[in-house]
Structure 1
Amino acid sequence: MNTLRAKLTGFLVGGVVLVVVLATGLSFALLTPPHFEATEDAIAAQLVLLAGLIEAHPDTPPASPGRLIGASPAPAGGPLATLPMRGLNAALDRMKGGRPPVVGEVVVSNPPDGGSPVISARLPDGRWLLLPVPMPPAPPNPGWAVVGWALMLAIGTTAVMVFAVRRLTAPLALLERTAAAIGPQGEMAPLREDGPTEVRVAARAINLLSSRLKAAMESRIRMVAAAGHDLRTPMTRMRLRAEFLDEDQREAWIADLDELDHIADSAIRLVREEVQRPAQTPLRLDLLVDEVVGELDGIGLPVTLAATGPATVTARPLALKRAIRNLAINASTHGRGARVEVGTDAQGALVRIADDGPGIPPALLAQVFEPFFRVDPARGSSIPGAGLGLAIAREIVLNHGGSLTLDNLPGGGLEQRVRLPALPGSTPDPEPMSA
């Protein structure tokens, strides 16, 4: 409920309902209540007039089912209507000179058949004048009628406001869905430019942004690939010329050329990882990590497998192996030793690589994944490298639907955490992998 759409809907509905409630209360306060005394006085005058006519014409036909007004030997039956009877007797007493002599006791009763109330007035000769009072029937359940009116008001207002808010916030919802659908490489499917004007404008702007972003990324990829490829030719010529130099100078030149070749090769690998999408297969992550640790330990790097547990993922074996190797090499060279753990938790498969180095300054943690970024001053040593190992590893992990995070350990050192979607019940690939 903590969304702009929900908040805006609640604000508008609450505002409308509050205004209606205040307006209704003000109306009840300003409306003049009906003048019951005037109505009672008019009925009393009519009753006196009819009683006088019957007294002047004793032969007036008596009241009957077909004749509602007339004289009767007894009053009308039914339960008494106390309030109307009290008001009518008070109106007769208010008449000039007191109660007229032609009208004696007056009772008002509700007939058993549920019709209009009947006034029974005693005449001087002992008979009763029957006078029905036509009144509209009281509405059944007046309280529920008010509640129903309030509910209909609230439901109708909410429906209208929800429709209006959804219409107004459609571009924002479109932006939210589009942002959630952006892939690891920034790609997104083109949006349909239809619907209301606001939605069409937003979709057109997003499609334009997507096309420009894709063009910029492709241009960057082509530029890096071309630069890495074009460096190969001059470096080969320089390597041939270095053979004719003195032995001391030749070794320095060959070392520099090897580092340049490593940089060019890393750049090309990064570009290939961004543009290529080989098929993924089920893979035992713990066996892959054990193989990487064994290879690095075999070449003399301080890498150990601290703990391991079965974990199956869907991955491209060579690419994922390259990512784990880059992270382990980074920890063993810059962090003076790497401890690797593999397992699973509620969020999927997890690889933890911890080292004993000085860590990374918190201000630089957000930049370590940038290509060619180096943290050598923070590591305390100048180690040759292209500065692309973390960038390539992160690109591979993201392409597998996972995440790569770096955190400084409380007691010193750095922890690299690779989290991948686990695949329980999959059959791992038993074939050994090689880079």
Structure 2
Amino acid sequence: MISLRNRLALLLGAAIVGVVVLATVVTFQIVERPRRADFEDVFAQGVELALRLAQGSGERARAAGIEVGPKPDFTEIARPQTEALNLRLREDSVSEEVVIGTHGEGRFDIAVPLADGQWMRLRTLGRPPSPLGPLVAYLSLVTLGALAVALFAARRITGPLRVLEEAAASVRADGTLPWLEPGGPAEIRATASALNRLSERLRLATESRMRLVAAAGHDLRTPMTRMRLRAEFLPEEERQGWLKDLAELDEIADSAIRLVREEVAEEGREPVALRPLLAEIAEELGAIGRRVRLEPGVEGEVPGQRLALKRALRNLAENAATHGGGATLRLEAEEQGQGQGLRVLVEDHGPGIPQDMLGQVFEPFFRVDAGRRKTHGGAGLGLAIAREILERHGGTIRIENRAGGGLRQTVDLPGA
């Protein structure tokens, strides 16, 4: 794809070169025609002078220092020049028909007939070299200069766009931007100031949401504790239902708080070996009755936070084991744009997800079937939390239905 700067440079360069080419063509036409006419005039004047000196006699011509002899046998006759010179001589009432032959090395020989049957032979230089070559060289230099000037001008014009590009590339996981130092032309300063204000508003909005969710989760615990105490005095058949609902509310509050924390977490990173991490996840889920199997594969490390990555990958494996009847984990090497990365595949043999609902799976509290909450529990935030963690680590996640049935969750992470 051609960038805007290169397109602008090409446009400016083409405009400059086009003007120079047009001016060169016009200049060549203006210069070439008089030059050709002047050259024919010089030839005609030389022939007329030689004829006056010879007065039709070869002896007089020799006495004047002119070469005289039989008609020259030219190996090559310059017919266009011959016709042009004879036409010019007839305009001056000279009836003799001259012949022009080439003499090599840019020279012409003019053979002029005399009345006594002999021929004068006038040796002369050919036409001056055509200015076309120097003009082409001049045009090439102008083209190079025009492209250099156009690139410089395009770079200056698109300067504010580079600020936007750099700002977009440096967006943090929480959606904010690093502080941009206003400088340069007025447009760049205005752009940097606007981006700084936008980043500050995003930061305040994120912090406000975090405080709101954290406060709501904290404030919910007090009435939930009172309700749990009151449930102890209810009959046995009612108490279990109340305690189950309260446990579900507690899990929803904890999951919401964890989701907000993952969005704004800024912890140190270190190389994390993925294969031992996946083996640990499979072992822990197997201990609570989930069917999870880790297939043989490659070894590799990714830069990140071990606990956060474990939480994300565990959510994916637990979803597959819970809703898909068992999970299969596989670690593969993946070629990426700037080196080699790692790919984690989580597959199951469950019912999958309807195609029209695949785009909603990462929405908070989303469930394919609302009835699953009664049988499997959970707050519906596992995939949302996993995506937040993986994107913060520079990775991506996609979910698709397998051709043979079941679901495939694919995670791509940059290598260490």
TM (normalized to structure 2)? Answer: 0.76
- Partner AA of 1:413 in structure 2: G
Contact 2:24/2:135, CA 8 A, preserved across alignment: no
Q: Structure 2 CA distance, aligned partners of 1:247 and 1:178? A: 60
**Which residue among 234, 240, 253 is the counterpart of 1:264?**
253
Q: Structure 1 CA distance, aligned partners of 2:280 and 2:36? A: 100
Q: Which residue does the alignment assign to 2:179?
A: 190
Question: Residues 252-302 of structure 1, C-alpha deviation per residue, up to 9 Å, x if partnerless?
Answer: 111111111111111222233233333333332211211111111111122
Structure 2 counterparts to residues 220-299 of structure 1, below 5 A: 220-299=209-288
Contact 2:20/2:139, CA 8 A, preserved across alignment: no
**Which residue among 287, 307, 317 is the counterpart of 2:296?**
307
Q: Structure 1 CA distance, aligned partners of 2:178 and 2:212? A: 25
Q: Which residue does the alignment assign to 1:111?
A: none
- Partner AA of 1:156 in structure 2: G
Provide closer, same or farther for how the CA distance between residues 360 and 34 of structure 1 changes in structure 2, counting only shifts above 3 A: same
Contact 1:360/1:378, CA 8 A, preserved across alignment: no
Q: Which residue does the alignment assign to 1:387?
A: 380
- Partner AA of 2:220 in structure 1: L
Gaps of 5+ in 2: 56-63, 69-73, 101-105, 113-123
Q: Which residue does the alignment assign to 1:130?
A: none
Question: Residues 166-196 of structure 1, C-alpha deviation per residue, up to 9 Å, x if partnerless?
Answer: 2332223322222122122223212222122
1:374 alignment partner, SS class: coil
TM (normalized to structure 1)? Answer: 0.73
- CA shift, 1:354, in A, is 0.9
Provide closer, same or farther for how the CA distance between residues 231 and 47 of structure 1 changes in structure 2, counting only shifts above 3 A: same
Provide closer, same or farther for how the CA distance between residues 386 and 279 of structure 1 changes in structure 2, counting only shifts above 3 A: same
Contact 1:376/1:382, CA 8 A, preserved across alignment: no
**Which residue among 330, 354, 361 is the counterpart of 1:361?**
354
Q: Structure 2 CA distance, aligned partners of 1:283 and 1:32? A: 77
Q: Which residue does the alignment assign to 1:2?
A: 2
- CA shift, 1:243, in A, is 1.3
Q: Structure 2 CA distance, aligned partners of 1:349 and 1:35? A: 74
Q: Structure 1 CA distance, aligned partners of 2:367 and 2:402? A: 20
Contact 1:282/1:312, CA 8 A, preserved across alignment: yes
2:33 alignment partner, SS class: coil
Matched, 1:218 2:207: yes
Provide closer, same or farther for how the CA distance between residues 145 and 231 of structure 1 changes in structure 2, counting only shifts above 3 A: same
Provide closer, same or farther for how the CA distance between residues 97 and 205 of structure 1 changes in structure 2, counting only shifts above 3 A: closer
Contact 2:316/2:346, CA 8 A, preserved across alignment: yes
Provide closer, same or farther for how the CA distance between residues 51 and 348 of structure 1 changes in structure 2, counting only shifts above 3 A: closer
Q: Which residue does the alignment assign to 2:313?
A: 324
- CA shift, 1:92, in A, is 6.3
1:404 alignment partner, SS class: strand
Q: Which residue does the alignment assign to 1:176?
A: 165
Identity of aligned residues (%): 48
Provide closer, same or farther for how the CA distance between residues 305 and 137 of structure 1 changes in structure 2, counting only shifts above 3 A: closer
Provide closer, same or farther for how the CA distance between residues 295 and 36 of structure 1 changes in structure 2, counting only shifts above 3 A: closer
Gaps of 5+ in 1: 56-70, 100-105, 109-113, 122-132, 424-435
Contact 2:173/2:264, CA 8 A, preserved across alignment: no
Q: Which residue does the alignment assign to 2:118?
A: none
**Which residue among 343, 354, 358 is the counterpart of 1:350?**
343
Q: Structure 1 CA distance, aligned partners of 2:3 and 2:11? A: 12
What is the Cα-based RMSD across aligned positions, in Å?
4.6
Alignment length, in residue pairs? Answer: 402
- Partner AA of 1:374 in structure 2: R
- CA shift, 1:12, in A, is 4.0
Contact 1:307/1:340, CA 8 A, preserved across alignment: no
Question: Which range is displaced more, 337-346 or 83-92?
Answer: 83-92
Contact 1:171/1:199, CA 8 A, preserved across alignment: yes
- CA shift, 1:228, in A, is 1.2
Contact 1:344/1:422, CA 8 A, preserved across alignment: no
- Partner AA of 1:277 in structure 2: E
Question: Residues 228-262 of structure 1, C-alpha deviation per residue, up to 9 Å, x if partnerless?
Answer: 11111111111112112222221111111111111
Q: Structure 2 CA distance, aligned partners of 1:375 and 1:405? A: 16
Q: Structure 1 CA distance, aligned partners of 2:94 and 2:143? A: 56
- CA shift, 1:422, in A, is 2.6
Q: Structure 1 CA distance, aligned partners of 2:37 and 2:271? A: 92
- Partner AA of 2:391 in structure 1: L
Q: Which residue does the alignment assign to 2:404?
A: 411
